[in-house]
Structure 1
Amino acid sequence: MTTTNPNSQKPQRTIFFGLDIPFLDHLGVVPESAENGKVRISYVVKPEHTNSFHVAQGGVIMTLLDFAMGAAARTASNHQLGAITIDMTTSFLRPSLGKITVEGRLLKAGKSINYCEAVALNEAGEITAKASGTFVLRR
């Protein structure tokens, strides 16, 4: 998803399902799919994103879960402006190492509020963390 402009040596940033999100680009998140209330992204844990136990820092994993849920909320209505997190609950089930895949999905779309959930999976397909959240689409 990162491309280089032939007139410039500076690489362009990754676009995340229609949005420019510098922090996700900085982390190295890869957008994979987003449609019909379901989103899939991936990320390889980098040493500079680990904690004292040498596993992914919890805030990084929460960022991925949060984005996947917000993006899932946007896909149901093809909303281009983004989603704002109202609340989010996260559970960490095991350490996150290596390549992490995050799958977010819309559970219920209301008139203004959307309910979503997401899971972070390790390379073995085990859930390392899960989250649920409430989002409002930006107007």
Structure 2
Amino acid sequence: MTEQTIRNMLEKDRFAKYCGMVLKEVGLGYATVTLDLKEHHLNGADLVQGGVVYTLADFAFAAAANFSGRVTVTINVQANYIKPANGDYIVAKAKVIHETKSLSHVRTEVFNDKEELVATFVLTGFRTKQEIKDEL
């Protein structure tokens, strides 16, 4: 698997692109994704909507988990929101913590622009039999 193959696949993630997510780095078992926060990311209380934080974590998960070469989809997540994600941007850092033939377990941490921990996620992904190819 190459970095460019994963980038090509994730470039097609229309929702991540719509939200403004940017894959900064990806390699075997890890990924970093950023999001510049805009007004449309805020909820009615003028805080970053929790779903935005989760979506960033899930996108980082996708990059890290799929680097193994098989299409991997989220089947379970444990989320811990620690503090509001307000600021200019947020960053998600994902790391594969364990992988089996059929499952991938990834820990993703989200930080604000002051490098403060905003949320932690442990995502479990199902590793399908579908191989990731450049034309995907």
Structure 1: runs of 5+ lacking an equivalent: 1-14
- In structure 1, C-alpha distance between the alignment counterparts of 2:62 and 2:22, rounded to whole Å: 16
Q: 2:45 aligns to what SS in structure 1?
A: coil
Q: Which has the larger radius of gyration?
A: 1
- In structure 2, C-alpha distance between the alignment counterparts of 1:56 and 1:17, rounded to whole Å: 26
1:57 is matched with which residue?
49
What aligned pairs does 1:99-114 form with structure 2 within 5 A after superposition? 99-114=89-104
2:117 is matched with which residue?
127
- Runs of 4+ with deviation above 6 angstroms: none
Checking the alignment, whether the CA contact within 8 Å between 1:16 and 1:31 is kept in structure 2 is: no
Checking the alignment, whether the CA contact within 8 Å between 2:101 and 2:127 is kept in structure 1 is: no
1:32 is matched with which residue?
24
Query: What is the Cα-based RMSD across aligned positions, in Å?
Result: 1.6
Q: How many residue pairs are counted as aligned between the two chains?
A: 122
- In structure 2, C-alpha distance between the alignment counterparts of 1:114 and 1:122, rounded to whole Å: 26
Q: TM-score, normalised by structure 2?
A: 0.83
Cα deviation 1:49-106 (Å, max 9, x = unaligned): 111221210011111111211221122x2x1x63211100111101112210110010
Q: TM-score, normalised by structure 1?
A: 0.82
1:117 is matched with which residue?
107
